[in-house]
Amino acid sequence: MSHHHHHSGRNLKLAFWLNLFFTIFEFIGGLYVNSVAIISDAIHDLGDSLSLGLSWYLDHKSKQGANRTFSFGYARFSLLGALINSLVLITGSVFVIREAVQRLFEPELSDATGMLIFALIGVAVNGYAAWKLSSGKSMNERVVSWHLLEDVLGWVAVLVVAIILKFYQTPYLDPALSLFITAYILWNVVRRLRETLMLFLQGAPKEVNLKALEDQLMAVPNVGSLHHTHIWSLDGEQHVFSTHVKLKEIEGLATLLEIKNRMKAALKPYGFAHYTIEIELSAEDCGLE
C-alpha cells in the first residue's frame, strides 16, 4: 500500500508540471491559430493546473501519520483533493460549453494546419500523463485521471476537426466537437463527484459486500449476534470496519481467543486499513442500545 502511495505522489507531480507548461503553450497556440477549442481548453487547463497542484499537496499531506488532531491520520485529505478537483472540472466544463455555444452563433474559421500540429502535441503530452495515472486507486487519482482524459479527448477532437478542415472549410465543427467532448466528460465527473460525496458522508464502499461479511462473522462458532456494524472509507481506497459481537456459551479464555482469531481471519481478505471488534458476553449489556 505504501508503495502505491509513493507512486501516486510522483504521478500527481508529473501531471501538475505537464499541465502547467502545456497550459502556457495552449494559450499561445490557441491565439495563433484562432481556435476556440484550444483557447477554451487552455483556460480550463489553467484551473486544472491549480487543482492538480492542490491534489499533489493534499496527496503528500495524506501520507502523514495519525496524531491527536487526526487520529486516523491524514488520508481523507486526498479525498478533499478529489472533491475540489471535481468542482473545478465542472466549473471549467461549463465555461467551455458557454464559449463553444457563443462560437456557434458567431462562427470563425481556424487555421487547420496550426490546429493539426498543436493537436498532435496535445494528444502525446496529455496521453502520456493520463497513462501514468490510469492505474490510480485512490479517489483523488481517479478524479485527476478524468482531468487528463478530458484533455486527451479534447485534443483528439481538435485533431479530427483539423483534418476535416484541411479538406472542407466549415466554422461549426470546432465548437460542435468541443460541446460533445465536454458534455461527455462532465457526465463522468458528476458521477465521480457523487462517489466522492458518498465517501465524505461515510457511505459504505460499494466493493465490499457488508451482508456477506456479516454472514462470515456469524458463521464463527459461539457468535450469537452482531450489532452496531459499520463500514466506511477514509479515501476511497483505505476502508474501516467496526462491529459489536455478542458471544454465547463461552467456556474460558482459550475459547475467546479462538473466536477472535477466526474473526480476524474472516476480515483479512478485505484488507481493511483499520478494524475494531467489540466482544460482548451473553449476559453483558452493550450500553449503546
Instruction: Say if CB 217 and CB 263 are below 8 A apart.
Output: yes
The pLDDT confidence band at residue 222, using thresholds 50, 70 and 90, is confident
Task: List Cα–Cα distances, 215 to 112, 219, 229, 272, in angstroms.
Answer: 63, 6, 12, 17
CA–CA gap between residue 18 and residue 20 (Å, rounded): 6
Q: What is the pTM of this model?
A: 0.65
Per-residue pLDDT reduced to its tens digit, 77-116: 777 777 887 887 788 778 778 877 887 888 777 778 888 8
- Among the ranges given (37-41, 135-139, 242-246), the one the predictor scored with the smallest mean pLDDT: 135-139
The pLDDT confidence band at residue 24, using thresholds 50, 70 and 90, is confident
Instruction: Say if CB 45 and CB 38 are below 8 A apart.
Output: no
Give the model's pLDDT for residue 2.
Answer: 44
Per-residue pLDDT reduced to its tens digit, 194-215: 888 888 888 888 888 888 899 9
Give the model's pLDDT for residue 202.
Answer: 84
132-143 average pLDDT score: 62
By C-alpha distance, which of 153, 155, 154, 141 is closest to 52? 141
Query: Which residue reads 481478505 in cell numbers?
Result: 269
Strands 223-233, 239-247: pairing kind: antiparallel
Cβ-Cβ contacts under 8 Å for 178 (sequence gap 6 or more): 36, 37, 40, 96, 99, 100, 154, 157
Angle between helices 76-105 and 139-167 in degrees, nearest 10: 20
